C-alpha cells in the first residue's frame, strides 16, 4: 500500500496546497451534511448528559465551525445561557492574558472589568459582551457569570489575595455543587484545578504561589480605579491536569457525550475536589514533579 508520505514526494508544493484545500472543502461539506446541529440539538444533547435547569455550570469551550454547530459564537453562548433558564447559572473564566499570571502581573498592566478582553477564546469574549453578564473584578482570573446568583458569584473577588481560593467565585461555585462542562476542549482547560490546589496548599510539598505580593490597578464597572493585591501561582510548578483526568476516568467520574462532531465531557465540582484530594493524600500529586525537581537541581 502506498502511504500519503510516499505520494507527497511526487507532488509539487502547489499540488499539495490544492490537494489540502480540496480535502478541507470535502471535510466541511461532510460536516455540514452529516454532523450539523443547531442550538436546540445542543441543549437536548447536554440535557441527556444530566444537565438540568437549576445547575450552576462552568463551561470551557472552543468554537469550531467544522464540528457542525449551525450558528455563531454568540448563538452558542445564548444556547448555553438558556440551559439554566431562570433557576441556574452559567460561568466562564475570562483570563486576560496568555502564559503565566506572574509574568502578566509583572508587566504592570491595568485591568478594566468592562473593557479588558478575555483571552480564553471567542465564545468567552462574546459571553463577556452579552447583556446581563457580570464579571468579577480580579486582574488575573476574572469570572463571567449569568443567572440567578450571578452578582453574588462574582462579588468581592477583588478582596481575594489568592485568585481562585477562599471567597472567590470558584469557592462559591463549589458551594453551589457546580458542574464543569468541556465543549470541544481538553480537560487541561480546567481552571477549577487551582481552587482545589489552594484548598490543599498546606499538604503539598512545594509552594503553589510565588512569594511576591502584587498590587494591580483595576477599573470597576463605574469607571473608578482601585488597587487590588494578589498572589500569582508559582510558575515553576508544572501542573498536570492529565494525571487528574486519568484518575477521574479510572474512577468513572467523567461523563462523555457527543452532538454532531462536537465532543463533551462533564464532571462534578465535588468529584474533582474529592479525587484531587485523594491523589494528594496518597502522594500521587497531579504535578510533573520530575521536571520541577530537575529544574530546581539545575539552578545555581
**What residue spans define the domains of the chain?**
1-34, 37-298
Segment 137-157, tens digit of pLDDT: 999 999 999 999 999 999 999
Report the alpha-carbon distance of residue 153 to residue 180 in Å, rounded.
15
pLDDT at 151: 97
Planar angle of CA 258, 263, 267, nearest 5 degrees? 95
Segment 16-59, tens digit of pLDDT: 676 565 555 555 555 556 789 999 999 999 999 999 999 999 99
Q: How do strand 143-147 and strand 134-135 relate by DSSP bridges? A: antiparallel
The pLDDT > 90 percentage for the chain reads 82
Report the alpha-carbon distance of residue 224 to residue 252 in Å, rounded.
48
Residue 180 in 3-state DSSP? Answer: strand
pLDDT at 13: 76
Q: Determine the average pLDDT of the residues in 204-221.
A: 97
Q: Determine the average pLDDT of the residues in 68-88.
A: 93
Q: DSSP H helical segments within the chain, as ranges?
A: 4-8, 13-34, 39-48, 73-84, 101-106, 122-129, 150-154, 169-175, 192-199, 241-250, 269-281, 289-298
Amino acid at each position: 500500500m502506498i502511504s500519503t508520505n510516499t505520494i507527497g514526494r511526487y507532488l509539487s508544493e502547489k499540488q499539495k496546497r490544492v490537494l489540502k484545500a480540496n480535502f478541507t472543502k470535502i471535510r466541511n461539506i461532510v460536516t455540514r451534511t452529516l454532523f450539523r446541529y443547531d442550538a436546540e440539538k445542543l441543549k437536548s444533547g447536554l440535557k441527556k448528559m444530566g444537565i438540568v435547569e437549576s445547575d450552576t455550570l462552568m463551561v470551557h469551550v472552543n468554537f469550531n465551525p467544522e464540528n457542525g454547530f449551525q450558528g455563531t459564537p454568540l448563538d452558542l453562548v445564548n444556547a448555553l445561557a438558556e440551559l439554566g433558564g431562570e433557576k441556574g447559572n452559567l460561568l466562564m473564566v475570562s483570563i486576560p492574558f496568555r502564559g503565566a499570571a506572574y509574568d502578566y502581573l509583572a508587566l504592570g498592566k491595568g485591568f478594566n472589568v468592562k473593557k479588558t478582553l478575555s483571552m480564553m477564546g471567542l465564545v468567552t469574549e462574546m459571553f463577556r459582551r452579552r447583556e446581563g453578564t457580570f464579571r468579577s473584578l480580579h486582574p488575573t482570573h476574572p469570572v463571567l457569570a449569568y443567572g440567578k446568583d450571578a452578582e453574588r458569584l462574582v462579588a468581592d473577588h477583588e478582596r481575594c489575595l489568592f485568585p481562585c481560593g477562599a471567597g472567590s467565585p470558584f469557592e462559591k461555585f463549589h458551594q453551589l455543587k457546580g458542574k464543569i462542562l468541556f465543549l470541544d476542549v481538553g480537560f487541561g482547560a480546567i481552571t477549577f484545578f487551582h481552587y482545589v490546589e489552594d484548598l490543599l496548599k498546606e499538604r503539598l510539598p512545594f509552594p503553589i504561589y510565588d512569594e511576591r505580593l502584587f498590587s494591580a490597578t483595576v477599573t470597576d464597572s463605574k469607571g473608578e480605579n482601585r488597587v487590588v493585591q494578589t498572589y500569582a501561582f508559582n510558575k515553576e510548578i508544572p501542573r498536570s491536569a492529565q494525571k487528574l483526568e486519568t484518575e477521574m476516568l479510572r474512577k468513572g467520574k467523567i461523563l462523555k457525550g457527543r452532538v454532531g462532531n462536537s465532543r463533551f465531557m462533564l464532571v462534578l465540582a465535588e468529584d474533582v475536589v474529592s479525587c484531587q484530594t485523594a491523589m494528594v493524600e496518597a502522594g500521587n500529586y497531579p504535578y510533573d514533579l520530575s521536571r520541577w525537581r530537575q529544574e530546581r537541581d539545575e539552578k545555581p
